Structure 1
Amino acid sequence: MTELNALFRKRIGIPENEKITFETLDHVLEKTAKTIPFENLCIIANKTNDVTKENVVDKILVRNEGGLCYELNSIFHFFLVENGFSAALVRGVVYDSVAQSWPTLGRTHVTNLLIHDGQTYLVDTGFGANLPLRPVPLNGEAITSSNGEFRIKKVDSDHGDHILEVKLKHKDPDWKIGYAFDSKRPVKDVTEFNEIQKILIEEQESPFNKNPLITRLTDEGHVTLTDTSFTQWTAGKVMKETIDHRRFKELAKQHFGIE
Protein backbone atom coordinates (compact mmCIF):
# COMPACT_ATOMS: atom_id res chain seq x y z
CA MET A 1 0.00 0.00 0.00
CA THR A 2 1.32 3.43 -0.93
CA GLU A 3 1.93 6.16 1.62
CA LEU A 4 -0.91 8.26 0.14
CA ASN A 5 -3.39 5.39 0.44
CA ALA A 6 -2.35 4.67 4.04
CA LEU A 7 -2.39 8.34 5.06
CA PHE A 8 -5.82 8.96 3.51
CA ARG A 9 -7.30 5.92 5.26
CA LYS A 10 -5.76 7.04 8.55
CA ARG A 11 -7.12 10.58 8.14
CA ILE A 12 -10.74 9.52 7.57
CA GLY A 13 -10.68 6.43 9.80
CA ILE A 14 -10.76 3.46 7.42
CA PRO A 15 -8.60 0.37 8.16
CA GLU A 16 -5.68 -0.30 5.83
CA ASN A 17 -6.95 -3.82 5.10
CA GLU A 18 -10.48 -2.72 4.12
CA LYS A 19 -11.15 -3.17 0.41
CA ILE A 20 -12.77 -0.13 -1.20
CA THR A 21 -15.44 -1.12 -3.72
CA PHE A 22 -18.01 0.87 -5.68
CA GLU A 23 -20.64 -0.40 -3.26
CA THR A 24 -18.74 1.02 -0.26
CA LEU A 25 -17.89 4.39 -1.83
CA ASP A 26 -20.84 6.09 -0.11
CA HIS A 27 -19.29 5.10 3.24
CA VAL A 28 -15.92 6.56 2.13
CA LEU A 29 -17.55 9.76 0.82
CA GLU A 30 -19.43 10.28 4.07
CA LYS A 31 -16.34 9.77 6.22
CA THR A 32 -14.35 12.14 3.99
CA ALA A 33 -17.04 14.86 4.15
CA LYS A 34 -17.25 14.64 7.94
CA THR A 35 -13.48 14.64 8.47
CA ILE A 36 -11.73 16.88 5.93
CA PRO A 37 -13.06 20.47 6.00
CA PHE A 38 -13.70 22.73 3.05
CA GLU A 39 -11.64 25.84 3.90
CA ASN A 40 -9.72 28.79 2.44
CA LEU A 41 -7.32 29.64 5.30
CA CYS A 42 -4.14 29.44 3.21
CA ILE A 43 -5.54 31.96 0.73
CA ILE A 44 -6.56 34.34 3.53
CA ALA A 45 -3.15 33.97 5.24
CA ASN A 46 -1.31 34.35 1.91
CA LYS A 47 0.41 31.00 2.48
CA THR A 48 -0.55 29.04 -0.63
CA ASN A 49 1.86 26.69 -2.40
CA ASP A 50 1.90 25.54 -6.00
CA VAL A 51 -0.71 22.88 -6.70
CA THR A 52 1.19 19.62 -7.14
CA LYS A 53 0.46 16.07 -6.02
CA GLU A 54 3.20 16.30 -3.38
CA ASN A 55 1.95 19.62 -1.99
CA VAL A 56 -1.68 18.48 -1.82
CA VAL A 57 -0.66 15.29 0.01
CA ASP A 58 1.43 17.34 2.45
CA LYS A 59 -1.34 19.87 3.11
CA ILE A 60 -4.26 17.49 3.58
CA LEU A 61 -2.72 14.21 4.72
CA VAL A 62 0.45 15.28 6.56
CA ARG A 63 -0.49 18.66 8.04
CA ASN A 64 -4.15 17.52 8.38
CA GLU A 65 -5.61 20.71 6.93
CA GLY A 66 -8.59 21.01 4.59
CA GLY A 67 -8.78 22.85 1.30
CA LEU A 68 -10.88 24.09 -1.59
CA CYS A 69 -12.40 21.97 -4.37
CA TYR A 70 -9.24 21.70 -6.48
CA GLU A 71 -7.32 20.35 -3.47
CA LEU A 72 -10.03 18.14 -1.95
CA ASN A 73 -11.04 16.51 -5.21
CA SER A 74 -7.42 16.09 -6.29
CA ILE A 75 -6.53 14.14 -3.15
CA PHE A 76 -9.69 12.05 -3.51
CA HIS A 77 -8.83 11.41 -7.16
CA PHE A 78 -5.41 10.05 -6.19
CA PHE A 79 -7.09 7.85 -3.56
CA LEU A 80 -9.63 6.51 -6.08
CA VAL A 81 -6.91 5.63 -8.58
CA GLU A 82 -4.77 3.99 -5.88
CA ASN A 83 -7.74 1.76 -5.07
CA GLY A 84 -8.28 0.62 -8.63
CA PHE A 85 -11.03 2.95 -9.85
CA SER A 86 -11.17 4.52 -13.29
CA ALA A 87 -11.49 8.23 -12.51
CA ALA A 88 -10.84 11.58 -14.15
CA LEU A 89 -10.79 15.15 -12.82
CA VAL A 90 -12.92 17.71 -14.69
CA ARG A 91 -13.62 21.40 -14.26
CA GLY A 92 -16.88 23.28 -13.91
CA VAL A 93 -18.64 26.53 -13.00
CA VAL A 94 -20.56 26.96 -9.73
CA TYR A 95 -23.91 28.72 -10.11
CA ASP A 96 -24.47 31.83 -7.99
CA SER A 97 -27.88 31.06 -6.47
CA VAL A 98 -28.06 34.42 -4.69
CA ALA A 99 -27.50 36.48 -7.84
CA GLN A 100 -29.29 33.85 -9.96
CA SER A 101 -26.50 33.97 -12.52
CA TRP A 102 -23.31 32.29 -13.69
CA PRO A 103 -20.14 34.02 -12.42
CA THR A 104 -17.50 35.26 -14.87
CA LEU A 105 -14.51 33.61 -13.15
CA GLY A 106 -14.58 30.66 -15.54
CA ARG A 107 -14.21 26.98 -14.74
CA THR A 108 -12.96 27.26 -11.16
CA HIS A 109 -14.78 24.22 -9.75
CA VAL A 110 -13.12 20.81 -9.81
CA THR A 111 -14.83 17.44 -9.43
CA ASN A 112 -14.30 13.75 -10.21
CA LEU A 113 -15.95 11.53 -12.79
CA LEU A 114 -15.78 7.79 -12.21
CA ILE A 115 -16.59 4.97 -14.62
CA HIS A 116 -18.10 1.78 -13.18
CA ASP A 117 -19.71 -1.04 -15.20
CA GLY A 118 -19.93 1.19 -18.28
CA GLN A 119 -21.75 3.96 -16.41
CA THR A 120 -20.24 7.38 -15.57
CA TYR A 121 -20.78 8.89 -12.13
CA LEU A 122 -19.96 12.23 -10.52
CA VAL A 123 -18.03 11.95 -7.24
CA ASP A 124 -17.43 15.24 -5.42
CA THR A 125 -15.69 15.88 -2.09
CA GLY A 126 -15.13 19.62 -2.60
CA PHE A 127 -18.52 21.34 -2.74
CA GLY A 128 -18.78 22.63 0.82
CA ALA A 129 -21.94 21.55 2.61
CA ASN A 130 -23.65 20.63 -0.69
CA LEU A 131 -21.89 17.30 -1.16
CA PRO A 132 -23.64 14.28 -2.62
CA LEU A 133 -22.57 11.47 -0.30
CA ARG A 134 -23.02 8.87 -3.02
CA PRO A 135 -21.83 8.68 -6.63
CA VAL A 136 -24.35 10.48 -8.87
CA PRO A 137 -24.97 8.85 -12.28
CA LEU A 138 -24.83 11.04 -15.37
CA ASN A 139 -27.96 9.34 -16.76
CA GLY A 140 -30.31 11.71 -14.89
CA GLU A 141 -31.34 9.29 -12.15
CA ALA A 142 -31.74 11.09 -8.79
CA ILE A 143 -29.90 9.65 -5.80
CA THR A 144 -30.66 10.25 -2.13
CA SER A 145 -28.07 10.46 0.62
CA SER A 146 -28.36 11.48 4.27
CA ASN A 147 -28.12 15.20 3.42
CA GLY A 148 -30.44 15.44 0.44
CA GLU A 149 -31.17 14.53 -3.18
CA PHE A 150 -28.90 14.98 -6.20
CA ARG A 151 -29.27 14.52 -9.94
CA ILE A 152 -27.47 15.43 -13.15
CA LYS A 153 -29.01 16.92 -16.28
CA LYS A 154 -27.40 16.82 -19.69
CA VAL A 155 -27.24 20.33 -21.19
CA ASP A 156 -25.59 22.22 -24.02
CA SER A 157 -24.13 25.40 -22.55
CA ASP A 158 -21.05 27.60 -22.45
CA HIS A 159 -20.31 26.30 -18.95
CA GLY A 160 -20.34 22.56 -19.64
CA ASP A 161 -22.36 19.65 -20.97
CA HIS A 162 -23.95 18.60 -17.63
CA ILE A 163 -25.44 20.32 -14.58
CA LEU A 164 -25.54 18.98 -11.03
CA GLU A 165 -28.85 19.79 -9.36
CA VAL A 166 -29.24 19.73 -5.58
CA LYS A 167 -32.13 19.51 -3.14
CA LEU A 168 -30.64 19.70 0.36
CA LYS A 169 -32.49 18.12 3.27
CA HIS A 170 -34.23 20.67 5.56
CA LYS A 171 -33.13 23.50 3.22
CA ASP A 172 -34.34 23.27 -0.36
CA PRO A 173 -38.05 22.77 -1.14
CA ASP A 174 -37.20 22.57 -4.85
CA TRP A 175 -34.28 21.53 -7.01
CA LYS A 176 -31.58 24.17 -7.44
CA ILE A 177 -28.56 24.40 -9.73
CA GLY A 178 -25.27 23.46 -8.09
CA TYR A 179 -22.78 23.72 -10.93
CA ALA A 180 -22.16 22.93 -14.57
CA PHE A 181 -19.23 20.75 -15.62
CA ASP A 182 -17.66 19.52 -18.84
CA SER A 183 -17.42 15.73 -18.98
CA LYS A 184 -15.44 15.69 -22.21
CA ARG A 185 -12.44 17.75 -21.04
CA PRO A 186 -10.52 15.68 -18.47
CA VAL A 187 -7.67 17.34 -16.63
CA LYS A 188 -4.31 15.77 -17.47
CA ASP A 189 -2.35 17.02 -14.44
CA VAL A 190 -3.30 18.77 -11.20
CA THR A 191 -0.74 21.50 -11.91
CA GLU A 192 -3.47 22.88 -14.23
CA PHE A 193 -5.24 23.94 -11.02
CA ASN A 194 -2.61 26.61 -10.36
CA GLU A 195 -4.67 28.68 -12.80
CA ILE A 196 -7.75 28.20 -10.59
CA GLN A 197 -5.82 29.01 -7.42
CA LYS A 198 -4.47 32.21 -8.99
CA ILE A 199 -8.00 33.32 -9.97
CA LEU A 200 -9.40 32.59 -6.50
CA ILE A 201 -6.55 34.52 -4.86
CA GLU A 202 -6.56 37.56 -7.13
CA GLU A 203 -9.98 38.20 -8.65
CA GLN A 204 -12.45 40.59 -7.01
CA GLU A 205 -15.34 38.23 -7.81
CA SER A 206 -13.67 35.35 -5.96
CA PRO A 207 -15.72 34.27 -2.93
CA PHE A 208 -12.64 32.90 -1.17
CA ASN A 209 -10.16 35.81 -0.91
CA LYS A 210 -11.98 38.11 1.53
CA ASN A 211 -12.90 36.29 4.74
CA PRO A 212 -11.96 32.95 6.32
CA LEU A 213 -14.42 30.11 5.82
CA ILE A 214 -14.37 26.57 7.22
CA THR A 215 -17.19 24.07 6.86
CA ARG A 216 -17.74 20.32 7.08
CA LEU A 217 -20.63 17.91 7.35
CA THR A 218 -21.64 16.35 10.66
CA ASP A 219 -23.84 13.37 11.57
CA GLU A 220 -26.85 15.69 11.99
CA GLY A 221 -26.12 18.44 9.43
CA HIS A 222 -23.10 20.68 9.08
CA VAL A 223 -21.04 23.36 10.82
CA THR A 224 -19.67 26.58 9.31
CA LEU A 225 -17.13 28.95 10.83
CA THR A 226 -16.24 32.45 9.59
CA ASP A 227 -14.31 35.27 11.26
CA THR A 228 -17.58 36.70 12.66
CA SER A 229 -19.88 33.72 13.25
CA PHE A 230 -20.19 30.01 14.02
CA THR A 231 -23.28 28.30 12.63
CA GLN A 232 -24.51 24.79 13.37
CA TRP A 233 -27.25 23.11 11.32
CA THR A 234 -28.66 20.18 13.31
CA ALA A 235 -31.61 18.24 11.88
CA GLY A 236 -32.89 21.38 10.19
CA LYS A 237 -32.46 23.66 13.21
CA VAL A 238 -29.96 26.51 13.04
CA MET A 239 -27.87 27.84 15.92
CA LYS A 240 -25.70 30.89 15.18
CA GLU A 241 -23.11 32.46 17.48
CA THR A 242 -21.39 35.80 16.93
CA ILE A 243 -17.66 35.42 17.61
CA ASP A 244 -14.35 37.29 17.88
CA HIS A 245 -10.82 36.30 16.81
CA ARG A 246 -10.05 34.39 20.01
CA ARG A 247 -13.25 32.37 19.75
CA PHE A 248 -12.53 31.73 16.05
CA LYS A 249 -9.24 30.03 16.95
CA GLU A 250 -10.93 27.96 19.67
CA LEU A 251 -13.70 26.76 17.37
CA ALA A 252 -11.34 26.06 14.46
CA LYS A 253 -9.42 23.66 16.70
CA GLN A 254 -12.47 22.17 18.44
CA HIS A 255 -14.65 21.47 15.41
CA PHE A 256 -12.17 21.22 12.53
CA GLY A 257 -8.86 20.18 14.13
CA ILE A 258 -7.16 23.26 12.68
CA GLU A 259 -4.57 25.08 14.75
Structure 2
Amino acid sequence: MFDAGRYLERIGAWPDASLAALHRAHLESVPFENLDIHLGRPIRLDVDSLFDKIVARRRGGFCYELNGLFSRLLASRGYAVTPLSAQVASEQKNGTFGPEFDHLTLQVEDGGERWLVDVGFGDGFLEPLRLDDRGVQTRCGHDFRLVPEGERLILWRDLGAGWEAQYSLSLVPRALGDFTGMCHYHQTAPDSFFTQKRLCTRATPSGRVTLKEGALVLTQGQEKQEVPVEEEARARALAEHFGIQL
Protein backbone atom coordinates (compact mmCIF):
# COMPACT_ATOMS: atom_id res chain seq x y z
CA MET A 1 0.00 0.00 0.00
CA PHE A 2 1.29 3.46 -0.89
CA ASP A 3 2.80 5.35 2.06
CA ALA A 4 4.09 8.86 1.33
CA GLY A 5 6.03 9.01 4.60
CA ARG A 6 8.02 5.87 3.80
CA TYR A 7 8.64 7.16 0.28
CA LEU A 8 9.99 10.46 1.62
CA GLU A 9 12.23 8.52 4.00
CA ARG A 10 13.46 6.41 1.07
CA ILE A 11 14.68 9.50 -0.78
CA GLY A 12 15.80 11.41 2.30
CA ALA A 13 13.39 14.32 1.82
CA TRP A 14 11.43 16.39 4.34
CA PRO A 15 7.62 16.48 4.09
CA ASP A 16 7.72 20.21 3.23
CA ALA A 17 10.47 19.85 0.59
CA SER A 18 10.05 21.89 -2.59
CA LEU A 19 9.39 20.30 -5.97
CA ALA A 20 13.02 20.87 -6.97
CA ALA A 21 14.28 19.35 -3.72
CA LEU A 22 12.08 16.27 -4.12
CA HIS A 23 13.27 15.86 -7.72
CA ARG A 24 16.94 16.03 -6.86
CA ALA A 25 16.59 13.88 -3.74
CA HIS A 26 14.92 11.18 -5.82
CA LEU A 27 17.67 11.19 -8.45
CA GLU A 28 20.38 10.97 -5.78
CA SER A 29 18.64 8.13 -3.91
CA VAL A 30 16.83 5.90 -6.41
CA PRO A 31 18.88 4.46 -9.28
CA PHE A 32 17.86 4.18 -12.90
CA GLU A 33 18.29 0.45 -13.55
CA ASN A 34 17.05 -2.43 -15.70
CA LEU A 35 18.29 -5.38 -13.64
CA ASP A 36 14.93 -7.17 -13.31
CA ILE A 37 14.68 -7.41 -17.10
CA HIS A 38 17.92 -9.43 -17.18
CA LEU A 39 16.72 -11.58 -14.30
CA GLY A 40 13.51 -12.43 -16.16
CA ARG A 41 11.33 -10.71 -13.56
CA PRO A 42 8.24 -9.04 -15.09
CA ILE A 43 7.75 -5.32 -14.40
CA ARG A 44 4.23 -4.31 -13.41
CA LEU A 45 2.97 -0.74 -13.40
CA ASP A 46 0.38 -0.88 -10.63
CA VAL A 47 1.20 1.40 -7.69
CA ASP A 48 1.45 -1.42 -5.11
CA SER A 49 4.05 -3.29 -7.18
CA LEU A 50 6.04 -0.10 -7.82
CA PHE A 51 5.96 0.89 -4.15
CA ASP A 52 7.07 -2.57 -3.06
CA LYS A 53 10.02 -2.56 -5.45
CA ILE A 54 11.27 1.03 -5.16
CA VAL A 55 10.45 1.86 -1.54
CA ALA A 56 10.06 -1.40 0.42
CA ARG A 57 12.85 -3.30 -1.37
CA ARG A 58 14.92 -0.14 -2.03
CA ARG A 59 15.42 -0.86 -5.70
CA GLY A 60 15.36 1.41 -8.75
CA GLY A 61 13.74 1.00 -12.14
CA PHE A 62 13.28 2.61 -15.53
CA CYS A 63 11.08 5.51 -16.62
CA TYR A 64 7.66 3.84 -16.37
CA GLU A 65 8.40 2.73 -12.82
CA LEU A 66 10.28 5.75 -11.49
CA ASN A 67 8.11 8.51 -12.94
CA GLY A 68 5.01 6.39 -12.44
CA LEU A 69 5.54 6.14 -8.69
CA PHE A 70 6.98 9.66 -8.33
CA SER A 71 3.78 11.04 -9.85
CA ARG A 72 1.85 9.40 -7.00
CA LEU A 73 4.14 10.98 -4.40
CA LEU A 74 3.73 14.42 -5.98
CA ALA A 75 -0.04 14.03 -6.13
CA SER A 76 -0.02 13.13 -2.42
CA ARG A 77 1.81 16.42 -1.75
CA GLY A 78 -0.94 18.38 -3.53
CA TYR A 79 0.64 18.89 -6.97
CA ALA A 80 -1.39 18.58 -10.17
CA VAL A 81 0.48 15.89 -12.15
CA THR A 82 -0.06 14.80 -15.77
CA PRO A 83 1.85 11.91 -17.35
CA LEU A 84 3.25 12.76 -20.79
CA SER A 85 4.60 10.60 -23.60
CA ALA A 86 8.02 11.18 -25.15
CA GLN A 87 9.95 9.62 -28.01
CA VAL A 88 13.65 9.11 -27.18
CA ALA A 89 16.28 10.32 -29.65
CA SER A 90 17.94 7.56 -31.66
CA GLU A 91 21.30 6.29 -30.43
CA GLN A 92 22.52 6.81 -34.00
CA LYS A 93 22.08 10.60 -33.51
CA ASN A 94 20.50 10.84 -36.95
CA GLY A 95 17.62 13.12 -36.01
CA THR A 96 15.07 10.34 -35.57
CA PHE A 97 13.11 9.38 -32.47
CA GLY A 98 11.54 6.24 -31.06
CA PRO A 99 7.80 5.45 -31.04
CA GLU A 100 5.13 7.11 -28.95
CA PHE A 101 5.13 5.98 -25.29
CA ASP A 102 8.86 5.22 -25.61
CA HIS A 103 9.41 7.29 -22.46
CA LEU A 104 7.17 8.45 -19.62
CA THR A 105 7.73 11.92 -18.22
CA LEU A 106 5.58 14.32 -16.18
CA GLN A 107 3.98 17.74 -16.34
CA VAL A 108 3.61 19.22 -12.85
CA GLU A 109 1.87 22.45 -11.90
CA ASP A 110 3.49 24.45 -9.11
CA GLY A 111 3.54 28.15 -8.24
CA GLY A 112 1.31 29.05 -11.19
CA GLU A 113 3.74 27.48 -13.67
CA ARG A 114 3.99 24.20 -15.57
CA TRP A 115 7.16 22.18 -15.02
CA LEU A 116 8.76 19.28 -16.84
CA VAL A 117 9.63 16.68 -14.21
CA ASP A 118 11.63 13.56 -15.03
CA VAL A 119 13.32 11.22 -12.54
CA GLY A 120 13.40 8.34 -15.03
CA PHE A 121 15.81 9.33 -17.80
CA GLY A 122 19.11 8.35 -16.23
CA ASP A 123 21.56 11.19 -16.74
CA GLY A 124 19.05 14.00 -17.27
CA PHE A 125 18.25 17.34 -15.64
CA LEU A 126 18.58 17.27 -11.84
CA GLU A 127 15.87 19.85 -11.16
CA PRO A 128 12.60 20.51 -13.05
CA LEU A 129 12.50 22.64 -16.20
CA ARG A 130 9.93 25.34 -16.91
CA LEU A 131 7.71 23.74 -19.52
CA ASP A 132 6.72 27.05 -21.13
CA ASP A 133 10.21 28.60 -21.20
CA ARG A 134 11.85 28.48 -24.65
CA GLY A 135 15.20 29.91 -23.60
CA VAL A 136 18.26 28.17 -22.18
CA GLN A 137 17.57 26.77 -18.71
CA THR A 138 20.60 25.98 -16.55
CA ARG A 139 20.24 23.27 -13.96
CA CYS A 140 23.18 22.36 -11.71
CA GLY A 141 25.73 23.54 -14.26
CA HIS A 142 24.09 21.97 -17.33
CA ASP A 143 22.13 23.79 -20.04
CA PHE A 144 18.82 22.60 -21.51
CA ARG A 145 16.28 23.96 -24.00
CA LEU A 146 12.72 23.04 -24.94
CA VAL A 147 12.31 23.81 -28.64
CA PRO A 148 8.91 23.64 -30.42
CA GLU A 149 8.61 21.34 -33.43
CA GLY A 150 5.06 21.22 -34.73
CA GLU A 151 2.81 20.27 -31.84
CA ARG A 152 5.70 18.74 -29.91
CA LEU A 153 8.67 19.98 -27.89
CA ILE A 154 12.22 18.73 -28.36
CA LEU A 155 14.35 18.58 -25.23
CA TRP A 156 17.94 19.56 -26.05
CA ARG A 157 21.01 19.37 -23.81
CA ASP A 158 24.34 21.13 -24.24
CA LEU A 159 26.98 18.43 -23.82
CA GLY A 160 29.88 20.85 -24.15
CA ALA A 161 30.74 19.87 -27.71
CA GLY A 162 27.32 20.99 -28.94
CA TRP A 163 23.60 20.58 -28.39
CA GLU A 164 22.10 17.10 -28.55
CA ALA A 165 18.42 16.12 -28.67
CA GLN A 166 17.25 14.01 -25.73
CA TYR A 167 13.61 13.33 -26.59
CA SER A 168 10.54 14.61 -28.42
CA LEU A 169 7.72 15.43 -26.04
CA SER A 170 3.96 15.46 -26.59
CA LEU A 171 1.80 17.64 -24.34
CA VAL A 172 -1.26 15.40 -24.78
CA PRO A 173 -2.33 14.20 -21.30
CA ARG A 174 -1.82 10.48 -20.74
CA ALA A 175 -2.49 7.87 -18.04
CA LEU A 176 -0.01 5.36 -16.61
CA GLY A 177 -1.90 2.49 -18.22
CA ASP A 178 -1.25 3.96 -21.68
CA PHE A 179 2.41 2.94 -21.32
CA THR A 180 1.77 -0.77 -20.64
CA GLY A 181 2.44 -1.88 -24.21
CA MET A 182 5.79 -0.12 -24.56
CA CYS A 183 6.76 -1.21 -21.05
CA HIS A 184 6.28 -4.81 -22.17
CA TYR A 185 8.19 -4.15 -25.40
CA HIS A 186 11.21 -2.75 -23.57
CA GLN A 187 11.25 -5.81 -21.30
CA THR A 188 11.13 -8.36 -24.10
CA ALA A 189 12.19 -7.01 -27.52
CA PRO A 190 15.72 -8.01 -28.62
CA ASP A 191 16.26 -4.56 -30.17
CA SER A 192 15.27 -2.70 -26.99
CA PHE A 193 18.16 -0.88 -25.31
CA PHE A 194 17.07 -2.39 -22.00
CA THR A 195 17.34 -6.04 -23.05
CA GLN A 196 20.80 -5.65 -24.57
CA LYS A 197 22.88 -4.71 -21.53
CA ARG A 198 22.58 -4.24 -17.78
CA LEU A 199 22.75 -0.75 -16.35
CA CYS A 200 22.48 0.84 -12.93
CA THR A 201 23.18 4.57 -12.49
CA ARG A 202 22.49 7.22 -9.86
CA ALA A 203 23.25 10.91 -9.47
CA THR A 204 25.47 11.91 -6.54
CA PRO A 205 25.96 15.34 -4.92
CA SER A 206 29.20 15.73 -6.89
CA GLY A 207 28.47 13.80 -10.09
CA ARG A 208 27.29 10.27 -10.90
CA VAL A 209 28.02 6.61 -10.25
CA THR A 210 27.26 4.04 -12.96
CA LEU A 211 27.64 0.27 -13.06
CA LYS A 212 27.60 -0.93 -16.64
CA GLU A 213 28.69 -4.19 -18.22
CA GLY A 214 32.21 -4.87 -17.00
CA ALA A 215 32.95 -1.54 -15.35
CA LEU A 216 32.09 0.94 -12.62
CA VAL A 217 32.20 4.58 -13.76
CA LEU A 218 32.67 7.27 -11.09
CA THR A 219 32.14 10.89 -12.18
CA GLN A 220 33.00 13.92 -10.05
CA GLY A 221 32.56 17.23 -11.83
CA GLN A 222 34.58 16.96 -15.04
CA GLU A 223 36.65 14.03 -13.78
CA LYS A 224 35.66 10.49 -14.78
CA GLN A 225 37.22 7.27 -13.52
CA GLU A 226 36.37 3.86 -14.98
CA VAL A 227 37.21 0.79 -12.92
CA PRO A 228 36.91 -2.76 -14.36
CA VAL A 229 34.40 -4.95 -12.49
CA GLU A 230 34.49 -8.71 -12.96
CA GLU A 231 31.18 -10.60 -12.95
CA GLU A 232 31.76 -12.06 -9.49
CA ALA A 233 32.26 -8.52 -8.10
CA ARG A 234 29.03 -7.04 -9.49
CA ALA A 235 26.93 -7.95 -6.45
CA ARG A 236 29.38 -6.18 -4.14
CA ALA A 237 29.39 -3.07 -6.36
CA LEU A 238 25.58 -2.98 -6.44
CA ALA A 239 25.40 -3.22 -2.66
CA GLU A 240 28.16 -0.69 -2.01
CA HIS A 241 27.14 2.04 -4.46
CA PHE A 242 23.37 1.53 -4.82
CA GLY A 243 22.24 -0.37 -1.73
CA ILE A 244 20.85 -3.10 -3.99
CA GLN A 245 20.80 -6.76 -3.06
CA LEU A 246 19.24 -8.92 -5.74
TM-score by length of 1: 0.88
- CA drift of 1:141 comes to 3.2
Match of 1:204 among 179, 190, 209: 190
- CA drift of 1:27 comes to 1.6
Distance in 1, Cα, partners of 2:141 & 2:235: 28
Distance in 1, Cα, partners of 2:59 & 2:228: 24
Match of 1:183 among 156, 168, 171: 171
Structure 1 residues 45-54 or 100-109, which shifts more? 100-109
Give yes or no for the alignment of 1:166 onto 2:157: yes
Give yes or no for the alignment of 1:19 onto 2:25: no
Partner of 1:153: 147
Give yes or no for the alignment of 1:61 onto 2:55: yes
Structure 1 residues 110-119 or 61-70, which shifts more? 110-119
Q: The residue matched to 1:195 in structure 2 has which SS? A: helix
**CA-to-aligned-CA distance 1:79-113 (integer Å, 9 cap, x gap):** 11100111100111110254424244443100000
Distance in 1, Cα, partners of 2:62 & 2:224: 24
Partner of 1:130: 124
CA pair 3-203 structure 1, distance change in 2 beyond 3 A: closer
CA pair 104-89 structure 1, distance change in 2 beyond 3 A: closer
Distance in 2, Cα, partners of 1:231 & 1:138: 35
Distance in 2, Cα, partners of 1:252 & 1:89: 30
Distance in 1, Cα, partners of 2:44 & 2:35: 15
Q: The residue matched to 1:107 in structure 2 has which SS? A: coil
Distance in 1, Cα, partners of 2:152 & 2:97: 17
Distance in 2, Cα, partners of 1:234 & 1:241: 14
Distance in 2, Cα, partners of 1:53 & 1:177: 31
Distance in 1, Cα, partners of 2:195 & 2:155: 25
Partner of 2:200: 214
Letter in 2 for 1:242: P
CA-based RMSD of the aligned residues comes to 1.9
- CA drift of 1:239 comes to 0.6
- Give unmatched runs, 5+ long, in structure 1: none
Distance in 2, Cα, partners of 1:121 & 1:257: 30
**CA-to-aligned-CA distance 1:148-192 (integer Å, 9 cap, x gap):** 122211211xxx61111112xxx43322111011102x223x233
Give yes or no for the alignment of 1:143 onto 2:134: no
TM-score by length of 2: 0.92
**Percent same amino acid among aligned pairs?**
23
CA pair 104-112 structure 1, distance change in 2 beyond 3 A: closer
Partner of 1:10: 9
